[in-house]
């Protein structure tokens, strides 16, 4: 089809032109094993039934649309949080291309990451030579101050020894002996992206502190360490810094990718920007204590901080919503000795005012949600604070202890009495849940849009709208700059949630002379 240069059409209207419709129909009729539409609709309707749900939940050896990603993705994000550090993945180019494009599409930013391009020969004979050449090339071409190494499935299946490979690379002069090359084994076939973040972070702090603890003294630098975990809302890094600065608390954010994932368009390319320095990592054991913002995903980090740094690392909940932000600030105040300032008290009061204003619209609304363990727990807690009901809670990458803790939190509120917690399930399970026990809304990442589309296909009365809070968000712009933590994050989430409720109400009441008796100007 020829196009007019003065009226270039984007793909959406272009593919609705009759010529494209005819082409696609011809493809279906002549080149696809086409089933009758009646059969397709019959099977579709069956997949929305209770019978199918029971069969679906018996599924064991197949994952359909996972609600998690693989370990190296998390290790790359963790590495990006350190100053002048290049994430290096020991594996194939395809894996690294996936990690980079995954973050590209979410952050709308260039993502620096390299691999040592393992291929068939390395899969048979091992990837040591790839490691030697790769480290040398990375150091010379990209000039990082540190290379943080993780692995893919191929390297883990054949048993490549990162410690030996890196030491041999140094002994043979490919990189200097004193050049920092921390590493972590991150097999994709176990755990998830949060496990990879935890493994990489523990590998980095182990590299810089494990054998250098003789002159360390807990509390000697007067600071608090903050460990964010796998966190993709850049506003959360900023809000934590702002709150602690307002409290006048000395702190260090360990792994801070805020700047490198949000560089300005000012004509200067920044391969590296901001991040935690090596000296700050070396000094971290001298802090008063370490707070893990997402403790459910930081298992190895917690163990290392307690056993090696001798920090208490008190267990805290993710600072989302009203009560858990209160607890976070009170814990910071307790450790630092600094009072909570009036500015944060006023901010809290504004959140309470917003919750009161919106309570009538949020009360009793039912939500299905999925995501990482700490996020799902914090979001469920906040929904109950708003008077909403988290009816379907799904976490693909949590453990049984998390499920028990989640159920205990739900038991503290009447709004959690009808909730179900689903562990190790995927988004095809979530699809069955929203068809057989319809919530009002879903909260999750962009992949939920396909569930919304399916519910609408069954009929408008079955549609479950998606509210995009989580990771990844590919099909909307700039949401990664928002905030979910602190009072500020609670305000932003409440604004998103209540306006989604009101937008849905408008959709349902705009029928001219049929439903518009409730199409009100003031809500």
pLDDT, one tens digit per residue, over 353-374 is: 999 999 999 999 999 999 999 9
Q: Which of the residues are catalytic?
A: 153, 157
Give the pairing of strands 251-253 and 224-227. Answer: parallel
pTM of the prediction? 0.96
CA–CA separation, 139 and 288 (whole Å): 35
- Per-residue buried b or exposed e for 98-122, using 16+ beta carbons within 10 Å of the residue's own CB: bbbebbeebbeeebbbbbbbbeeeb
Alpha helix stretches (DSSP H) within 314-341: 321-336
16: pLDDT strictly greater than 70: yes
What stretch of H or E contains 226? strand 224-227
Per-residue confidence at 6, pLDDT binned at 50, 70, 90?
A: confident
In the block, residue with structure tokens 């390319």: 269
pLDDT, mean of residues 164-169: 98
The better pLDDT of the pair 325, 523 is held by 325
In the block, residue with structure tokens 């949060």: 194
Per-residue confidence at 1, pLDDT binned at 50, 70, 90?
A: low
Q: Is the CB of residue 323 less than 8 Å from the CB of residue 377?
A: no
How confident is the model over 254-284, as pLDDT tens digits?
999 999 999 999 999 999 999 999 999 999 9
Q: How many CB atoms lie within 10 A of CB 484?
A: 25
**What is the number of alpha carbons within 13 Å of residue 53 lying toward its C-beta?**
11
Burial (CB count <10 Å: 0-12, 13-18, 19+), residue 312: middle
Q: Is the CB of residue 467 less than 8 Å from the CB of residue 496?
A: yes
498: pLDDT strictly greater than 60: yes
How confident is the model over 110-137, as pLDDT tens digits?
999 999 999 999 889 999 999 999 999 9
CA distances from 230 to 19, 335, 459, 461 (A): 47, 24, 37, 37
pLDDT, mean of residues 193-199: 99
2: pLDDT strictly greater than 90: no
Give the pairing of strands 146-151 and 85-90. Answer: parallel
pLDDT, mean of residues 37-48: 96
Domains of the chain: 71-209 (3.40.50.1980), 224-336 (3.40.50.1980), 343-508 (3.40.50.1980)
CA–CA separation, 358 and 203 (whole Å): 45
């Amino acid at each position: 089809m020829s196009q007019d240069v003065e009226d270039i059409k984007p793909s959406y209207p272009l593919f609705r032109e009759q010529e494209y419709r005819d082409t696609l129909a011809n493809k279906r009729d002549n080149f696809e094993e086409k089933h009758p539409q009646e059969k397709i609709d019959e099977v579709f309707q069956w997949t929305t039934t209770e019978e199918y749900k029971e069969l679906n939940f018996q599924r064991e050896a197949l994952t359909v649309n996972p609600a998690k990603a693989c370990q190296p993705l998390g290790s790359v994000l963790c590495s990006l949080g350190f100053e002048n550090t290049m994430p290096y993945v020991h594996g194939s180019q395809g894996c690294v291309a996936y990690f980079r494009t995954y973050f590209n599409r979410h952050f709308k930013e260039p993502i620096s990451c390299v691999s040592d391009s393992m291929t068939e020969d390395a899969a048979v004979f091992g990837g040591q030579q790839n490691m030697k050449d790769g480290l040398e090339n990375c150091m010379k071409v990209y000039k990082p101050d540190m290379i943080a190494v993780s692995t893919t499935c191929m390297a883990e299946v054949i048993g490549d020894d990162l410690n030996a490979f890196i030491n041999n690379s140094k002994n043979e002069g490919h990189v200097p002996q004193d050049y920092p090359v921390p590493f972590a084994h991150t097999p994709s076939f176990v755990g998830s992206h949060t496990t990879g973040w935890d493994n990489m972070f523990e590998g980095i702090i182990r590299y810089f502190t494990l054998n250098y603890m003789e002159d360390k003294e807990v509390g000697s630098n007067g600071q608090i360490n903050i460990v964010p975990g796998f966190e993709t809302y850049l506003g959360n890094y900023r809000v934590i810094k702002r709150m602690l600065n307002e409290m006048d608390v000395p702190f260090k954010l360990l792994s801070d990718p805020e700047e490198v994932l949000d560089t300005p368009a000012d004509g200067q390319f920044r391969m590296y920007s901001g991040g935690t320095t090596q000296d700050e990592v070396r000094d971290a054991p001298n802090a008063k204590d370490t707070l893990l913002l997402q403790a459910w995903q930081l298992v190895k980090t917690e163990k290392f901080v307690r056993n090696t740094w001798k920090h208490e690392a008190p267990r805290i909940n993710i600072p989302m919503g009203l009560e858990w932000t209160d607890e976070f600030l009170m814990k910071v105040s307790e450790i630092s000795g600094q009072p909570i300032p009036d500015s944060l008290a006023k901010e809290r009061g504004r959140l309470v005012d917003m919750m009161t204003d919106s309570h009538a619209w949020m009360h009793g609304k039912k939500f299905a949600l999925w995501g990482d363990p700490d996020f799902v727990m914090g979001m469920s807690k906040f929904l109950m604070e708003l008077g909403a009901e988290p009816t379907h809670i799904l976490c693909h990458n949590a453990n049984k202890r998390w499920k028990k803790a989640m159920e205990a939190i739900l038991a503290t509120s009447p709004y959690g009495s009808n909730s179900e917690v689903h562990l190790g399930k995927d988004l095809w399970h979530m699809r069955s849940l929203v068809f057989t026990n319809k919530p009002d809304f879903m909260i999750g990442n962009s992949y939920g849009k396909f569930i919304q589309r399916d519910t609408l296909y069954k009929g408008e009365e079955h549609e479950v709208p998606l509210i995009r809070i989580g990771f990844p968000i590919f099909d909307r712009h700039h949401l990664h700059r928002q905030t979910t933590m602190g009072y500020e994050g609670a305000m932003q989430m409440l604004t998103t949630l209540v306006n989604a409720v009101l937008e849905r109400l408008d959709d349902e009441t705009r029928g001219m002379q049929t439903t518009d008796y409730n199409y009100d100007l003031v809500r």
